[in-house]
Structure 1
Amino acid sequence: MAEGTLHEPDMTGEEIIAPLPRITLQAFCETQEVATAMQAVTADRRMDKAQTRIQMGGPAAAVEAFRAAPTPNVIVLETATEPARLIASLDALAESCDPGTKVVVIGHVNDVQLYRDLIRRGVSDYLIAPLGVLDVLRTLSELYATPGAETLGRTIAVVGAKGGVGASTVAHNLAWAIGRNLDASTVIVDLDIAFGTAGLDFNQDPPQGIAEAVFAPDRLDANMLDRLLSRCSENLALLAAPAVLDRTIDLGEDSFDLLLDLLRASVPCIVLDVPHIWTGWAKRTLIGADEVVIVAAPELASLRNAKNLMDLLRAARPNDSVPRLILNQVGIAKRPEIDAAEFAKALGIEVLNAIPFDAQLFGTAANNGQMIAEVQSGGKVAEAFVQIAMALTGRGEAKRGKRSLFEPLVAKLMRRKA
């Protein structure tokens, strides 16, 4: 039984719970409340790669299950019995545990001596019911955190409610604002391999980019990824799309998984420019992002599509913040528009920002391969992107600390173990 490590907050001061790798997990519960909580945990997006099984019976059932069967990567045990019986079951389980198996115990008493006994026997962590889904996810994620590793990067997926609403422009200027105004190392990833415009917007024409990463996954590693990135500024790099039609882009659902894992391991902030298409990989990218931004124009088709996206993402990401809504191209002359308040009311969410339409400003920036702040620094639109960047990264908002599961003495012991 191995011991886990603790994560630190990301660059924003907000904690990031990393997705789990491809592992097997079996939970043995004694109460229906914990079984229900574990079912909610296994349904979370961060458990997408894990193979899980939830069953009743507690530690005794686990001992019987693994007498002649290999143990999974993680065993979660709920105990509602006295400590002596739990310790006896753990000792029996240790006789058949495979090397590398991690054990997490869920109990109903806050007992420092029990915690010490469990840690001495190699238990990775001890949680106290009732459980929050994020509490369990945090613990499971920490089991696979590499000691001394950098904090995982934060992914921000930007998608348009319909084509032509300027989602790519928002994504690119958002990444620029994070890198320049918030001084955070950022990568903008253009996921529209056939028609992406990030290279044009940043006046870059790199010979290699995202296509090499996606179409040769067996060669992709951290060194190769570093060679594929193009430097746009001191804190901003670009993974550009080739924007050529030499092949069709029929990608599998997990085609971007390795690329995003490598980026998260090396860059504090990753902005994903997601094209307005509905494929398995596009849906997976949105559901798996730490933050989702929906860009819409103040008109009916955008409202309908934004509502559909919002409903799907709320259902698929019950333990995450709701997607953010940005209204773009607001105030086009003589165009009837849906008021921002009505738009927000229909979606049940506040508008993060409403960006005014300025044909001269946006057209000049696009044709010159510049960001809005380079054309008109200090203007209203440039300031809007800074405000969006601050909201999405947590800068300027109250920072949320970790919620402790234990009394101060136990928390202190855990920090020493880490």
Structure 2
Amino acid sequence: MTRTLTTDSHDVDGALIAPLPRISIQAFCATAEIAETVKSAAADRRVEKAHVKVHTGGVAAAIEIYRTAPTPNVILVELTGTREEIVADLERLAEVCEASTKVFVVGHVNDVLLYRDLMRRGVQEYLVAPVAPLDLVRTWSELYRAPDASPVGKTLAFVGAKGGVGASTVSHNVAWAIARGLQLETVVVDLDLAFGTAGLDFNQDPPQGIAEAVFAPDRLDSALIERLLAKCADNLSLLAAPATLDRAYDFAAEAFDPIYDLLRANVPFVVLDVPHLWTSWSRRAVLAADEIVIVATPDLANLRNAKNLVDLARAQRPHDAPPRLVLNMAAVPKRPEIKVAEFSRALDVEPIAIIPFEPQLFGTAANNGQMIAEISATHKVNDLFLEIARSVTGRQEARVHKRTLLDPLMARLLKRA
């Protein structure tokens, strides 16, 4: 009767829920279970801008409050009665509810006739208990999305567990794989405004970039973003960093939010190349992203920092999948390394890719301003970047392992683990 909402908080669709605008939501719960669910949903990263208040007492409490108080943007009411009692309760609520307020109901009766009756009476949605927090977040979000609105783009934050581990190189090559290998429109955003390398890696030197957008929020719109993007290849554009030291790049936590919102509204995938620093805005870039990819090398400092990032993400993003892990520059000759299995066990995260140490290949690409696929289209490292691209976009299930020329190296790594 109602739409089937996915309750697995780690599913791909869950990550594509649009953030809520600055609205007020008041929930009137009849049971402790639904009250806890609403509180959990209110803590979701996509609900950050909304103000959510939870009341007990069900519909009776709502009617009593709204006799003298204005109604909010959204009312959630839990109704536990029969079909006839639910309809009667909503009729009484309608008498004190403003016409602009959106109402949706959580009920305990699975009845298609009731659902149709509630829709005719102006109820926006009817969900049958039990519901998951992500169900509520998705429903709230869809209340404010136009029926003909374009799908929401997905932000992918790549962050290094330590400086110099190659997070930027990995993010750029994965963006190339998404754009060229999967044929999906992608934008790379270089957030290292002082020292960013995306312009060098893609052999681009645009006169303007992300600094013009973030320093001129009053002029920010889709047309400005379009002018600032540098075309790197088919389906791939770059919002470059100025990479100059003529001013300090100190920003408020939400300074980049309008840029992300505009990009997500126009591009399916936005790759955030997050610098290795911890400020209010870089922290927000990581924790508010739809997918987090931690790039690390197998040593102790990387393990500690990656563990801190994973633990923070799990605490702050309870309805999202844990961060993805990419081990880069693995199997450096004569370098002591933490075994892959030990590294994974400490984080409770399996790496989605182990990229071997290939200094000649990666050094040549960096100095030429090219991607690995441009330097050597047949090199097996490209398969790893494509596999990461599939994993973070969710556009295709990770393939069952296929034998490659890298198998002997991977076997040695795993044997050491």
So what's the TM-score if we normalise by structure 1?
A: 0.90
Report the 3-state secondary structure (helix = DSSP H, G, I; strand = E; otherwise coil) of the residue aligned with 1:265.
Answer: helix
Aligned to 1:203: 203
Aligned to 1:295: 295
1-structure distance, mates of 2:149, 2:110: 31
Which structure ranks higher in relative contact order (CA pairs < 8 Å, sequence separation ≥ 6)? 1
Q: Does residue 79 of structure 2 align to residue 79 of structure 1?
A: yes
- 5 Å-filtered alignment, 1:203-222, equals 203-222=203-222
Aligned to 2:90: 90
2-structure distance, mates of 1:28, 1:336: 58
1-structure distance, mates of 2:66, 2:12: 41
For 1:389, the aligned partner's letter is: A
1-structure distance, mates of 2:134, 2:340: 33
1-structure distance, mates of 2:397, 2:292: 18
Offset, 1:64: 1.3
2-structure distance, mates of 1:215, 1:196: 17
Aligned to 1:46: 46
Aligned to 1:226: 226
For 1:122, the aligned partner's letter is: G
Residues 300 and 398 (structure 1), Cα distance of their counterparts in 2 relative to 1, 3 Å cut: closer
Q: Does residue 122 of structure 2 align to residue 122 of structure 1?
A: yes
For 1:210, the aligned partner's letter is: I
For 1:54, the aligned partner's letter is: V
Report the 3-state secondary structure (helix = DSSP H, G, I; strand = E; otherwise coil) of the residue aligned with 1:156.
Answer: strand
2-structure distance, mates of 1:140, 1:376: 47
Offset, 1:13: 7.5
Deviations 1:381-409 (A, max 9, x none): 2221111111111233189xxxxxxxxxx
Residues 83 and 396 (structure 1), Cα distance of their counterparts in 2 relative to 1, 3 Å cut: closer
Offset, 1:88: 3.0
Moved more, 320-329 or 87-96: 87-96
Aligned to 2:163: 163
1-structure distance, mates of 2:217, 2:99: 30
2-structure distance, mates of 1:99, 1:86: 19
For 2:155, the aligned partner's letter is: T
1-structure distance, mates of 2:232, 2:188: 10
Aligned to 2:386: 386
Deviations 1:175-202 (A, max 9, x none): 0000000000000111111111101110
For 1:73, the aligned partner's letter is: N
Aligned to 1:107: 107
For 1:142, the aligned partner's letter is: E
For 1:252, the aligned partner's letter is: A
Offset, 1:117: 1.6
Residues 366 and 398 (structure 1), Cα distance of their counterparts in 2 relative to 1, 3 Å cut: closer
Offset, 1:14: 4.1
Aligned to 1:314: 314
1-structure distance, mates of 2:99, 2:288: 31
Deviations 1:187-240 (A, max 9, x none): 011111111110111010111110111111111011111111110011000000
Residues 85 and 398 (structure 1), Cα distance of their counterparts in 2 relative to 1, 3 Å cut: farther
Offset, 1:294: 0.1
Aligned to 1:412: none
- 5 Å-filtered alignment, 1:154-193, equals 154-193=154-193
Aligned to 1:242: 242
Residues 157 and 49 (structure 1), Cα distance of their counterparts in 2 relative to 1, 3 Å cut: same
Offset, 1:69: 1.4
Deviations 1:244-269 (A, max 9, x none): 11111111010111111111110011
Report the 3-state secondary structure (helix = DSSP H, G, I; strand = E; otherwise coil) of the residue aligned with 1:384.
Answer: helix
Deviations 1:75-119 (A, max 9, x none): 000011233333233223323333421111000010122111211
Aligned to 1:20: 20
So what's the TM-score if we normalise by structure 2?
A: 0.91
Aligned to 1:37: 37
Offset, 1:70: 1.5
Aligned to 2:140: 140
Report the 3-state secondary structure (helix = DSSP H, G, I; strand = E; otherwise coil) of the residue aligned with 1:126.
Answer: strand
* Contact 1:63-1:89 within 8 A present in 2 as well: no
* Contact 2:107-2:128 within 8 A present in 1 as well: yes
Q: How many residues align?
A: 391
* Contact 2:390-2:398 within 8 A present in 1 as well: no
2-structure distance, mates of 1:14, 1:76: 23
2-structure distance, mates of 1:100, 1:190: 41
Aligned to 1:269: 269
2-structure distance, mates of 1:98, 1:281: 38
For 2:182, the aligned partner's letter is: L
1-structure distance, mates of 2:100, 2:273: 38
Report the 3-state secondary structure (helix = DSSP H, G, I; strand = E; otherwise coil) of the residue aligned with 2:292.
Answer: strand
* Contact 1:59-1:86 within 8 A present in 2 as well: no
Deviations 1:135-191 (A, max 9, x none): 111111111111211100111110000100000001100100000000000001111
Percent identity, please.
60
1-structure distance, mates of 2:264, 2:389: 18
Q: Does residue 359 of structure 2 align to residue 359 of structure 1?
A: yes
* Contact 2:155-2:271 within 8 A present in 1 as well: yes
2-structure distance, mates of 1:224, 1:33: 47
> Which consecutive unaligned segments of at least 5 residues does structure 1 have?
400-418
1-structure distance, mates of 2:298, 2:17: 34
For 2:186, the aligned partner's letter is: T
* Contact 1:124-1:143 within 8 A present in 2 as well: yes
Report the 3-state secondary structure (helix = DSSP H, G, I; strand = E; otherwise coil) of the residue aligned with 1:353.
Answer: strand
* Contact 2:83-2:109 within 8 A present in 1 as well: no
